[in-house]
Amino acid sequence: MSKTVFLFPGQGAQYVGMAQKFYDSYEVSRAVFEKASKLSGYSMEELCFTENSRLDETRYTQPALLTACCAILAAVRGEGIQAEAAAGLSLGEYCALTAAGAFEFEDALRTVCERGAYMQEAVPEGQGMMAAVLSRRPLPVEEICESVPGIVSVANDNCPGQKVISGETEAVKTAANKLLEAGAARVVPLKVSGPFHSPMLKEAGEKLKGVLEQIPLKTPELTFVSNVTARAESDPEHIKGLLARQVCSSVLWRQSMEYLIAEGADTFIEIGPGKTLCGFLKKIDRTARAFSVETPEDLAQVKRML
């Protein structure tokens, strides 16, 4: 039996104008933005639709991206498209849990506002960084990171041929040079404001845990696959613990997709800005059907094809 999965991108996918066509065309999408503006205390429309420097600041990026993805999700569901499972990369987990009915949008937004602030404040600017490791053959990325003095570890296992490392700036640079010597095709620094998904974010995770304890979370109505375990998780309190751990532990994206495929998922719909997750999926399993919904035109095409 066919099984559809909603996928949601993480930080880095944001751009000025994301979801604006949905805002202009769908009342349900506009309502999400209006609610976000009221809850956040600033204009989410201005943040997402006009040129500004704040959109790339973590404390603003995270609520903006959540809002854009949930606005598009509202339109997708308004067109009758449903899924049996949901997953999101890093920040995208909050969108996935909202899609699964575990979070109310208001509670997800309040949480990511705090999450973004904690993650931005965790490490002084310049002391940490992330880099994508691209290779045509398997490399011992974990072992090379462990051999380097200082803090550097694997932050993301995205797909065959791509992992992301994160940690102290000098340690990441040293690991990058060693990886190139070991045969990496490229090591590309990422435009992020901190060493996310590394032990340097442990304090941010502890603060986030305190926030999550005050936020109601229900049992997901869809299958929800965690970044931390790459397995389906359904217990609300356990999921809260995983969300707190997630900011300082590796994102097991490749393993999460492999798990969903093994469980019968064959159709994946990426909801939000960009097509990064569809690209990862095609490298994980070429037979999986992958669609992205970034514009109303994309939505119309997906509706026809499904």
Reference 300, options 15, 83, 22, 33; nearest CA is 22
Q: What residue spans define the domains of the chain?
A: 3-123+199-305, 128-189
Q: How far apart are CA 75 and CA 149, in angstroms?
A: 49
Q: Which tokens hold the place of 138?
A: 């398997």
pLDDT tens digits for range 174-224: 999 999 999 999 999 998 888 999 999 999 999 999 999 999 999 999 999
From residue 190, alpha-carbon distances to 44, 129, 172, 214, 254 in Å are: 25, 7, 11, 33, 19
Residue type, 273: P
Which residue, chain included where needed, has tokens 């309190």? 237
pLDDT attached to residue 3: 95
21 touches 284 (CB < 8 A): no
Q: Give the CATH superfamily of 128-189.
A: Malonyl-CoA ACP transacylase, ACP-binding (3.30.70.250)
Fold match between domain 3-123+199-305 and domain 128-189: no
Residue 1 has pLDDT above 70, yes or no: no
What percentage of the chain has pLDDT greater than the value 70?
100
pLDDT attached to residue 88: 98
For the chain, the residue count is: 306
Q: Alpha-carbon torsion 269, 270, 272, 274, what sign?
A: negative
pLDDT tens digits for range 221-262: 999 999 999 999 999 999 999 999 999 999 999 999 999 999
What does the DSSP 8-state code read for residue 191?
A: -
Class of domain 3-123+199-305: alpha beta
Supply the residues annotated as catalytic.
Answer: 90, 197
User: For 140-157, what is the mean pLDDT?
Assistant: 98
Q: How far apart are CA 18 and CA 192, in angstroms?
A: 18
Residue 159 has pLDDT above 70, yes or no: yes
pLDDT attached to residue 43: 98
pLDDT attached to residue 126: 87
pLDDT tens digits for range 43-74: 999 999 999 999 999 999 999 999 999 999 99
Residue ranges in the chain assigned as alpha helix (H): 20-25, 27-40, 44-49, 58-78, 92-99, 105-122, 141-146, 169-181, 202-212, 236-246, 253-262, 276-284, 296-305
